[in-house]
Amino acid sequence: MSGNGYDGLGVVKGRTIAGAVRIYDTTLRDGEQSPGISLTVDDKVSIAHMLDALGVSCIEAGFAASSEADRNVFQQLVTDGLRADLYSLSRCLRDDIDAAHGCGLKHVHLFIATSDIHLKYKLKMSRDEVLSKIDDSVTYAISKGMEVMFSCEDATRTEYGFLKEAFLTAVNAGASIIDIPDTVGVSMPAEMYELVSMLSRDIDVPIAVHCHNDLGLAVANSLAAVEAGASVIHTCVNGLGERSGNASTEEVALNLKLNYGVDTIDLTGVDRISKIVSRYTGYPVAYNKPLVGRNAFSHESGIHVHGILNNAATYEPYPPEMIGRSRDIAIGKHSGAHSLKDKLSAMGISFPDERLGDLLEEIKTLSVGGKEITDIELAAVAENLLWRGRSEVHVRLDEFVVLTGKNVTPTATVTVTVDGVSRTCAMTGTGPVDAAVNAIRAALDNRISFEELRLESITGGSDSLCEVTVLVRDTVVDGHISAGKAVGIDIVDTTVDAFMQAINRDYARSR
Ligand code: KIV
Ligand code: ZN
């Protein structure tokens, strides 16, 4: 591939934010709360190690009070030792704090709801009761020597005066980070900016945000929070999390790098962890998901591929290598000649420019219905086209129809033109291929016998192209054997194509 550099086009925009930003990954807690996800202790331990290797600053690996399995995860991770700060979620309850502390944890994430709707319909508590729970639980955790991050659940729907009071209560009791959860994902970036700005004027500890994606704004809200001074962002790999998920770890980290030049995690590892989290959770990654979706660096349309081949920055906002991926030139119905040539030369196949148009036509025919042509299929089609191009056409198949089904005698009708004379024949057979072969042979006065058929599925998938090779014998002239080969989507059509190839080779030889 030529010129795939970014030719001096900076991908980092250089907007500025004050100070460092830390990623607080909650894949193993909020992410695991996604319906249908149930990770084993081993799964969680190995994902936590991967997150640690990626360089996230904090890992919320579960909720110690909620299950023995989570306590086992914490104990194992404490024994292993991580670079990241390891947090357990905890209600503002002494028993919950004891469960986290009992696992040997030094960090705890305490939360209690503060919005009126949660107080009235869920907690059934007054504001004063909530404040006293905050004070008691934070004081208790601090007395155990733990560091506390404190969240007002549903913060973005909490009346500002009470929100500030709740956070101040936590900070006065010793919390060292306050977190603003946008629990039901209703905030707008401008509102998040305003809220973080107000809290950072009123309270002097680092601010975290925990943004849910119900309205598709989790990443935008997290970035707005960072612009307003937040320094800890809660995220989940692949954007997992309750309902529509949380801000995705990879999207937040890449945006911080591209827009502000801020380094957080090792971006080259995000593709791998995305795949592993997807496999362990059973949650597929959408093809079009930013960064880690299958199509993020896949180019098919001729115009785009042409641009990409000259300078990748034409249709890519940043190089795929930056996140541990590589570019893919997909071959399908939107492909152009440049893509084909580039793919073939990458596979070491030199294909004449003057035949590219024919190859393109063939590919477009084969990819009707959206089939993507794999590299190996492209190579087979191209090689077959070159091979076919070397024989002249003496016998032309003008029409071909085959009727087959259950409890139907397969019957084929063909019209062929031999040296300018047209002939139509219909024959039956044991199957559609046999009927077609019999009809073509009859139209040629049985000069050619069908000796051998070899059929291969190129990729093995149910939508694979097939490659058919046939051997025929000239039973009238001299018994010579000729071969024919074709690549196509339909077994009967492709066999007929290969048969016609072989027939033309025989006729060309014996002229
Ligand atoms: O979404 C939320 O409010 C939470 C809290 C427990 C922080 O996950
Ligand atoms: Zn949440």
298: tokens are 């896949």
pLDDT at 209: 98
Tell me: pLDDT of 2 over 70: no
CB-ligand 1 contact for 183 (6 Å cutoff) = yes
258: tokens are 């591209």
pLDDT tens profile 210-264: 999 999 999 999 999 999 999 999 999 999 999 999 999 999 999 999 999 999 9
pLDDT tens profile 27-86: 999 999 988 888 999 999 999 999 999 999 999 999 999 999 999 999 999 999 999 999
CA neighbor of 242 nearest in space, from 36, 34, 38, 63: 34
CB-ligand 1 contact for 235 (6 Å cutoff) = no
CB-ligand 1 contact for 212 (6 Å cutoff) = yes
Distance from the CA of 243 to the center of ligand 2, in angstroms? 9
Cα–Cα distance measured from residue 300 to residue 289, given in angstroms and rounded to the nearest whole number = 17
Give me the sign of the Cα torsion angle 115, 120, 125, 127: positive
Q: Report the share of the chain in percent with pLDDT over 90.
A: 69
Distance from the CA of 241 to the center of ligand 2, in angstroms? 7
**Ligand in nearest proximity to the CA of 235:** 2
pLDDT at 391: 66
Across the range 485-504, mean pLDDT stands at 90
pLDDT band at 122 (very low <50, low <70, confident <90, very high): very high
Residue 135, CA atoms < 13 Å, CB-side half-sphere: 10
Mean pLDDT computed over every residue of the chain: 91
pTM of structure: 0.78
pLDDT band at 482 (very low <50, low <70, confident <90, very high): confident
Distance from the CA of 30 to the center of ligand 2, in angstroms? 5
CB-ligand 1 contact for 30 (6 Å cutoff) = yes
Closest-CA residue, ligand 1 atom 3, reads 183
Q: Tell me how far the alpha carbon of residue 278 is from its chain's centroid.
A: 9
Distance from the CA of 366 to the center of ligand 2, in angstroms? 47
What's the full length of the chain, in residues? 511
Cα–Cα distance measured from residue 481 to residue 304, given in angstroms and rounded to the nearest whole number = 46
Distance from the CA of 190 to the center of ligand 1, in angstroms? 21
End-to-end CA gap in the chain: 45
Q: What share of the chain is helix, strand, coil (3-state, %, to 5)?
A: 45, 20, 35
pLDDT at 12: 67
Among 136-145, 152-161, 461-470, the range scoring the smallest mean pLDDT is 461-470
pLDDT tens profile 287-298: 999 999 988 998
Tell me: pLDDT of 195 over 90: yes
**Ligand in nearest proximity to the CA of 113:** 1
DSSP 283: -
Higher pLDDT, 342 or 127: 127
The residue behind tokens 């073509």 is: 440
CB-ligand 1 contact for 181 (6 Å cutoff) = yes
pLDDT at 197: 97
Distance from the CA of 240 to the center of ligand 1, in angstroms? 13
Q: Write b or e for each residue in 134-151: b if 16 or more Cβ atoms lie within 10 A of its Cβ, otherwise e.
A: bbebbebbbebebbbbbb
CB-ligand 1 contact for 494 (6 Å cutoff) = no
pLDDT at 479: 85
pLDDT band at 4 (very low <50, low <70, confident <90, very high): very low
Among 23-32, 50-59, 167-176, 490-499, the range scoring the smallest mean pLDDT is 490-499
pLDDT at 511: 63
Cα–Cα distance measured from residue 191 to residue 224, given in angstroms and rounded to the nearest whole number = 9
CA neighbor of 484 nearest in space, from 466, 497, 498, 495: 498
Closest-CA residue, ligand 1 atom 1, reads 183
User: Given the CA of residue 154, which atom of ligand 1 is nearest to it?
Assistant: 3
CB-ligand 1 contact for 505 (6 Å cutoff) = no
pLDDT at 377: 82
In this structure, how many other beta carbons lie within 10 angstroms of the beta carbon of residue 326?
Answer: 9
CB-ligand 1 contact for 239 (6 Å cutoff) = no
**Ligand in nearest proximity to the CA of 180:** 1
CA neighbor of 402 nearest in space, from 414, 415, 388: 414
Distance from the CA of 344 to the center of ligand 1, in angstroms? 51
Please report, for residues 127, 163, 231, 340, 345, the alpha-carbon distance to residue 349 in angstroms, rounded to integers and kept in the order given: 74, 66, 52, 11, 5
Distance from the CA of 123 to the center of ligand 1, in angstroms? 15
pLDDT at 9: 46
pLDDT band at 483 (very low <50, low <70, confident <90, very high): confident
Closest-CA residue, ligand 1 atom 8, reads 30
Closest-CA residue, ligand 1 atom 2, reads 183
The residue behind tokens 């076919």 is: 388
Tell me: pLDDT of 187 over 70: yes
pLDDT tens profile 229-239: 999 999 999 99
pLDDT tens profile 357-413: 999 998 988 887 777 787 778 888 888 888 776 667 889 999 999 999 999 999 999
CB-ligand 1 contact for 111 (6 Å cutoff) = yes
Distance from the CA of 263 to the center of ligand 1, in angstroms? 25
- What is the phi/psi pair of residue 488, to 5°? -165, -175
Mutate to test the pocket of ligand 1, among 109, 112, 183 (most ligand atoms within 8 A of CB): 183
What SS3 class is residue 144?
coil
Distance from the CA of 89 to the center of ligand 1, in angstroms? 9
User: Given the CA of residue 234, which atom of ligand 1 is nearest to it?
Assistant: 7
Among 1-15, 103-117, 172-186, 318-332, the range scoring the smallest mean pLDDT is 1-15
pLDDT at 3: 40
CB-ligand 1 contact for 153 (6 Å cutoff) = yes
User: Given the CA of residue 153, which atom of ligand 1 is nearest to it?
Assistant: 3
Please report, for residues 277, 294, 396, the alpha-carbon distance to residue 340 in angstroms, rounded to integers and kept in the order given: 34, 20, 28
CB-ligand 1 contact for 234 (6 Å cutoff) = no
The residue behind tokens 């360089």 is: 55
Higher pLDDT, 88 or 471: 88
User: Given the CA of residue 29, which atom of ligand 1 is nearest to it?
Assistant: 8
